[in-house]
Amino acid sequence: MYMNLKDHKGRGSQFNLPNRFEKIHSDEGFFDNEYFETEDDDRKIVTEYFNDDSKSVLTENNSPDIKAKFSINPYRGCEHGCIYCYARPTHEYLGFSSGLDFESKIMIKQNAPVLLRKEFLKKSWVPQPVFFSGNTDCYQPVERKLQITRKCLEVFSEFRNPVMIITKNSLIKRDADILTEMTELNIIKVIISITTLNFDLQRKMEPRTSSPAKRLDTIEYLTSKGIPTGVNIAPIIPGLTDEEIPEILKQSSERGASFAGRVILRLPHSVKILFENWA
């Protein structure tokens, strides 16, 4: 078992796990003087951002959870810090940990809009729905400043290519103007993901996401503008959140959600260890 030496408020994970691709790992690891110099040390874990020089931006999927052949991820890692996130182990491909690193070391694809435009200009590209995003949240906090997601939406709109957006962040309301334009072209669907209506549970399990109330407000706001919006109950955690399914559906429907989906909890690789030690 791993011990939480300190309560890092605003973080889902409290430690870094060994990277399964690295041959050498120190047991001291995260618990050295980088963060724990004294018992009174009250410093917070600061989010770091790194430039991602990927040469392509569309990823082909084979996941049953993603209802499109291609997805786009403007970021790698996610500051939302959801403890159960199935994408956490992908950070190990970058030499990071799936624990705190996943939510505090974020890769930024500044050139994502340019790369997307290049994809759409290829003769081989066949217009089809693209999922936005499958491996991160495209409206995580840094999007407020960088607006990479918004710029990509402008490209989708220009090429009239269908897109499905999923997010746990009310920041999407900022882009209601372009989403309205895309609605007129019938090329947009928005999915607001809700795991629980319990504010205290949400704050511990999904620390930097929008509150359940704000997500319901977001559904109402977007649908009031005619933007097709639904709810995704995800993940459904047996024994913890499954009893909330009827109420989430009820309240989402009352706010205007026109469709719904669900994903059952799964804990690949190191996520199961993080989840077992969470709370």
Could you tell me the two tokens for 19? Answer: 């990277």
SS3 call for 164: strand
Q: What residues does 48 pair with on adjacent strands? A: 105
Could you tell me the two tokens for 46? Answer: 């600061």
Region 27-33: mean pLDDT is: 38
Strands 188-194 and 163-167: what pairing?
A: parallel
Domain ranges of the chain: 29-276
Q: How confident is the model at residue 150 (pLDDT cuts 50, 70, 90)?
A: very high
pLDDT, tens only, 220-256: 999 999 999 999 999 999 999 999 999 999 999 999 9
Q: How confident is the model at residue 23 (pLDDT cuts 50, 70, 90)?
A: low
**Which pLDDT score, from 0 to 100, does residue 3 have?**
43
**Which pLDDT score, from 0 to 100, does residue 39 have?**
38
What's the predicted TM-score (pTM) here?
0.89
173 CB-contact burial (10 Å; exposed 0-12 / middle 13-18 / buried 19+): middle
Q: What residues does 38 pair with on adjacent strands? A: none
d(CA 45, CA 50): 16
**In which residue are the tokens 């009352």 written?**
254
Q: What integer best gives the mean pLDDT of the chain?
A: 89
Tally of residues, the chain? 279
Q: How confident is the model at residue 13 (pLDDT cuts 50, 70, 90)?
A: confident
In the predicted structure, residue 43 carries a pLDDT above the cut 60: no
Q: What residues does 260 pair with on adjacent strands? A: 231
| Backbone dihedral region for residue 93 (phi beyond 0: left; psi -120 to 50: alpha; all else: beta) | alpha
> Cβ neighbours of residue 173 under 8 Å, at least 6 residues apart?
218, 221, 222
Statement: 29-276 belongs to CATH 3.30.420: no
Q: How confident is the model at residue 31 (pLDDT cuts 50, 70, 90)?
A: very low
Query: Higher confidence at residue 255 or residue 5?
Result: 255
pLDDT, tens only, 61-120: 877 666 789 999 999 999 999 999 999 999 999 999 999 999 999 999 999 999 999 999
- Single-letter amino acid, residue 209: T
d(CA 84, CA 178): 31
d(CA 27, CA 194): 36
**Which pLDDT score, from 0 to 100, does residue 10 have?**
77
Could you tell me the two tokens for 67? Answer: 């209802």
d(CA 85, CA 70): 20
Could you tell me the two tokens for 235? Answer: 């993940």
d(CA 279, CA 275): 8
Name the DSSP letter for residue 210: P
Lowest mean pLDDT among 42-46, 72-76, 89-93, 160-164: 42-46
